[in-house]
């Protein structure tokens, strides 16, 4: 079994190197080059997908002979900016008490390294004989998922996908979506001492905001009901003026659960404007980011294979679960039609000071990945 040849020390050293390469959103190029160099070493054909100016995805592909399934693995290259009061330099990896600390250690450089360690193991073992592996390192997941959007527009195809996001106590097979709207109210100006002479756009916007809870929202058995939040409101003159505000806009974020769509929410908003008797003109514009909600069937091959591999490695059952936020998986499933699951090393302090990953969890994940590769491509 090739999982026995996963090199734990290789995992640790490569994660240290990955942490030393800063890759905040917008500056992922050096890490993409680093990942590409490792994939080439293990026999992958490597291409770089241009995403935005000098930003690029790294995509590797390796076929193993006979006809078989195509498996996409990978995750995002970018990290958030270092936040909070770190007790150490976030770009200098430190090992303490079985954990490895560093910016992006858990979200999600350890997952990428665990996949690369599994690839290193299969390269040495020569155990795979059919199908192909695709590896995608994607930019911008922590912002607008521009990397995933570029990938889904490419001609590349896969039968299934596994992203090494930090979920090691369950396999994530679905999650909510998210849509952002800019909602504009156009009123009519006039002297504020005679408010009845015009239409106060701020007042009309407030009226609509106060009725947002009346909008229909679907309820999923596990994900619950989609949430919403007004993020920003702007209206009136920037300098003092005794004038009726004739325009007002606000940003509204709406989390979606299946089977909700952005188009339906937009129609519901426009209908709400009608039934609340808004004066003036209401305009609803969808803005980035947009992530459709998704659910992958529990009997998909990648789900069953990962559960089997997990049980073989740990003698425990791997339950299925649903994410609480969005990821690149939303786009791979909804826009590319690839059944995608999330499973990767666990840790703590994600998006905050002193982020860390469990070293044992990273090595165990690598061993589980090799079991999946061998079961599907061996």
Tens digit of each residue's pLDDT (9 = 90 or more) over 256-304: 999 999 999 999 999 999 999 999 899 999 999 899 999 999 999 999 9
Give whole-number Cα distances, 218 to 22, 73, 95, 255, in Å: 41, 32, 45, 11
Q: Measured between alpha carbons, how far is 371 from 118 in angstroms, rounded to an integer?
A: 9
Residues 6+ away with beta carbon under 8 Å from 126: none
Could you say which of 244, 269, 291 is where a domain stops? 291
| pLDDT of 117 | 96
Alpha-carbon distance 301 to 60, whole Å? Answer: 22
305 in the same domain as 210: no
SS3 356: strand
Are 145 and 169 part of one and the same domain?
Answer: yes
Sheet architecture: strand order including 281-291: 228-235, 247-256, 177-186, 281-291
Tokens 């003092």, residue located: 240
pLDDT at 84: 82
Two tokens, residue 114: 């665990």
Closest CA to 86 of 349, 362, 357, 359: 349
Residues 204 and 186 in one domain: yes
Q: Chain centroid to CA 302: how far?
A: 19
**Confidence (pLDDT) at 126:** 85
User: Do 181 and 110 fall into the same domain?
Assistant: no
Q: 206-264, pLDDT tens digit by residue? A: 999 999 999 999 999 989 999 999 999 999 998 999 999 999 999 999 999 999 999 99
- Averaged pLDDT score across all residues of the chain: 95
Q: Which domain holds residue 285?
A: 177-291
State whether 148 and 203 are in the same domain: no
Q: What tokens appear for 313 in the block? A: 């490695």
Q: Are 114 and 10 in contact (CB under 8 A)?
A: no
pLDDT over 60 at 359, yes or no: yes
Q: Are residues 16 and 152 in the same domain?
A: yes
Angle between helices 359-377 and 110-125 (to 10 degrees): 50
| Domain termination residue (choose one: 291, 316, 346) | 291
Residues whose CB is less than 8 angstroms from the CB of residue 115 and which lie 6 or more positions away in sequence, other chains included = 73, 74, 75, 135, 164, 366, 369
CATH number of the domain bearing residue 48: 3.40.630.10
Cα distance between residue 201 and residue 197, in whole Å: 13
């Amino acid at each position: 079994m090739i999982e026995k040849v996963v090199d734990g020390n290789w995992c640790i050293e490569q994660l240290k190197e990955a942490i030393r390469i800063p890759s905040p959103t917008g500056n992922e190029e050096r890490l993409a080059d680093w990942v590409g160099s490792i994939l080439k070493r293990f026999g992958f054909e490597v291409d770089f997908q241009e995403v935005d100016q000098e930003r690029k995805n790294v995509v590797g592909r390796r076929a193993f002979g006979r006809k078989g399934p195509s498996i996409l693995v990978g995750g995002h290259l970018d990290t958030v900016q270092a936040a909070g009061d770190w007790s150490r330099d976030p770009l200098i990896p430190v090992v303490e008490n079985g954990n490895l600390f560093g910016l992006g250690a858990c979200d999600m450089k350890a997952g990428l390294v665990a996949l690369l360690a599994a690839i290193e193991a299969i390269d040495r073992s020569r155990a795979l004989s059919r199908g192909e592996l695709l590896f995608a390192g994607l930019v911008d997941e922590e912002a607008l998922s521009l990397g995933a959007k570029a990938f889904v527009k490419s001609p590349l195809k896969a039968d299934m996908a596994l992203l090494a996001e930090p979920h090691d106590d369950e396999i994530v097979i679905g999650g909510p979506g998210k849509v952002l709207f800019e909602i504009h109210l156009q009123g009519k100006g006039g002297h504020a001492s005679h408010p009845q002479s015009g239409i106060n756009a701020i007042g009309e916007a407030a009226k609509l905001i106060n009725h947002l809870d009346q909008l229909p929202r679907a309820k999923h058995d596990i994900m619950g009901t989609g949430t919403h939040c007004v993020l920003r409101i702007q209206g009136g003159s920037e300098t003092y003026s005794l004038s009726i505000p004739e325009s007002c806009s606000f940003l509204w974020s709406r989390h979606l659960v299946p089977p909700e769509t952005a188009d339906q929410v937009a129609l519901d908003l426009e209908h709400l404007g009608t039934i609340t008797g808004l004066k003036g003109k209401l305009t609803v514009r969808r803005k980035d980011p947009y992530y459709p909600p998704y659910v992958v069937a529990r009997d998909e091959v990648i789900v069953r294979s990962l559960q089997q591999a997990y049980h073989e490695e740990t003698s425990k059952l791997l339950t299925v679960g649903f994410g609480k936020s969005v990821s690149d998986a939303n786009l791979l499933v909804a826009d590319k039609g690839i059944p995608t699951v999330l499973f990767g090393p666990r840790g703590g302090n994600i998006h905050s000071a002193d982020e860390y990953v469990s070293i044992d969890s990273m090595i165990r994940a690598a061993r589980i990945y090799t079991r999946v590769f061998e079961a599907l491509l061996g």
